[in-house]
Amino acid sequence: MKKSTALLVSVLLVLSVAVWASGQQDNSSSGKTVVIKVKNFGSDKDAEAYHAAYLKYQEAHPNVQITDTFVPIGTWREYTAKTLAEAAAGQAPDILALASESIRQIHSVDLLASLDDYIKNDKDASAMLDDISPTLRNGFVLGGKVWAIPSFWNGIYAYYNTDLWKQAGLATPTKDFTWDDLRAAAKKITKRDSSGNTTVWGFAPDMWLNGLSSWVYSNGSDLLTNDMTKSNLKDPKVAEAFQFIADLINVDKTMPRPDADANANGQSWTNLFANGKLGIIYGGHQYTQVFMANNFSNYDVIRIATNGSHTSSYGCAAFSITKSSKNKQVAWDIIKALVSVPVQTLQSSQGTSIPSRRSVCAGAAFLKWPKNAGLFYGLLDEPDGFKPVTAPVNYTEFEAIMYRYVNQVFAGSMSASEAMVKADAEIVQALARSKGN
């Protein structure tokens, strides 16, 4: 019996070690130490910059311990779902990074603490807030209260290949670059080889919801009403915007056909552009990093093409404090550190997203390239320059529904007007359900 018991015991031991090792979580220490949990997202370089900020803060305040959960963004779906799950489990962090896409969803489940009091009682606050464009700040004001401080953002711009432009004999695009101009330019730039394969493409959009929103905005319309509570999909201008893109794919054949994954599309299209095989691409500031990595600099940035409106779409990340946090004042201090000038300057030099502070974006590090880099932040201050991405209370569901229909429109299997009618029906239902909760 001894041998078998020993065997059993050792098996159980192995099991328990495995289970213990897996259960290693950060335990909050007791006593005077204040533990602040942060849930954040971004790119590698953002993580580095924030980490440096945490270390600096902890040095200055030795009784504070910051634990950071940094999540790579796959889709908003996952990030928001996990955040809500953690909140439901009573494990909400103190500082929560969220974005324009999720602010209404997270706010609606009463997860956040309003920041107005902290702003009022902080003498440094107004200097910080003045340095952030009101366009960005207002995206996080709901019901007259401030719920988050913008940290970094991305808008939809148009990058065009200066060489291909010249070769096609096109004039440098002005700020009144229209849809028709885009269509004509794409046609001129697209080249096919002898067997009919396209060697150079004309145009590629941004396939994130941000990018799709921008098309609709530039047509003077929106996917939802301005307060983002009712569907606007029946507006023929919405269908017109999507049909335009669909025609570029299927009629003009100047745009590559998108696959289901917005991520993968972005990857392959930026790669095309960085290899001089694409005339014009819509996207955010993060593309400049890709171009830099590929040693590609024959491009410049302009506003997206207009069809009556000049408004483009942006998505902004921001820091908020959860209602359940027991150390809101400390959390506020840390947030200030995270959006401070040194941290944002570090972020700006890596070229991913655009820092929220105007002063940082006026710096040489940010304006390094491309030629028109002043446009990135400058557009925020123009009237009708930017509008936040369409993001209702049930954003994840909304996004999923939009993609299902837009993908079919782009595939040419459904007309945009038919798709929008169907999408409208579903979204009306979905919105009604979310209100009922």
Site for another protein in 367-406 (CB under 8 A): 394, 396-397, 400, 403-405
Which amino acid is residue 434, in one-letter code? Answer: S
Is residue 396 within 8 Å of 384, Cβ to Cβ?
Answer: no
For another protein, which residue of 27, 30, 89, 143 counts as binding (CB under 8 A)?
89
Q: Does 81 bind another protein (CB under 8 A)?
A: yes
Tell me which stretch binds another protein (CB under 8 A): 88-96, 112-120, 210-218, 313-321: 88-96
Query: According to CB under 8 A, which residues from 6 to 35 bind another protein?
Result: 7-8, 11, 14-15, 18-19, 21-23, 25
Query: According to CB under 8 A, which residues from 260 to 299 bind another protein?
Result: 260-261, 263-264, 266-268, 270-272, 274-275, 286, 289-290, 293-295
For another protein, which residue of 93, 173, 211, 258 counts as binding (CB under 8 A)?
258
Residue bearing tokens 């003498």: 123
Cα within 13 Å of Cα(136), Cβ side: 29
Q: Does 414 bind another protein (CB under 8 A)?
A: yes
Is residue 289 within 8 Å of 159, Cβ to Cβ?
Answer: no
Q: Does 437 bind another protein (CB under 8 A)?
A: yes
Query: According to CB under 8 A, which residues from 196 to 215 bind another protein?
Result: 196-198, 201
CA nearest to 356, candidates 259, 285, 411: 285
Cα(99)–Cα(199) distance, rounded to whole angstroms? 38
CB of 69 to another protein, least distance (A): 5
Using the minimum distance from each CB to another protein, give the nearer residue, 151 or 434: 434
Query: According to CB under 8 A, which residues from 95 to 154 bind another protein?
Result: 109
Which amino acid is residue 373, in one-letter code? Answer: A
Residue bearing tokens 């745009």: 255
Q: Does 342 bind another protein (CB under 8 A)?
A: no
Using the minimum distance from each CB to another protein, give the nearer residue, 74 or 308: 74
Q: Is 65 helix (H, G, I), strand (E, B) or coil?
A: strand
Cα(118)–Cα(316) distance, rounded to whole angstroms? 21
Q: Does 246 bind another protein (CB under 8 A)?
A: no
Which amino acid is residue 201, in one-letter code? Answer: W
Cα(138)–Cα(148) distance, rounded to whole angstroms? 10
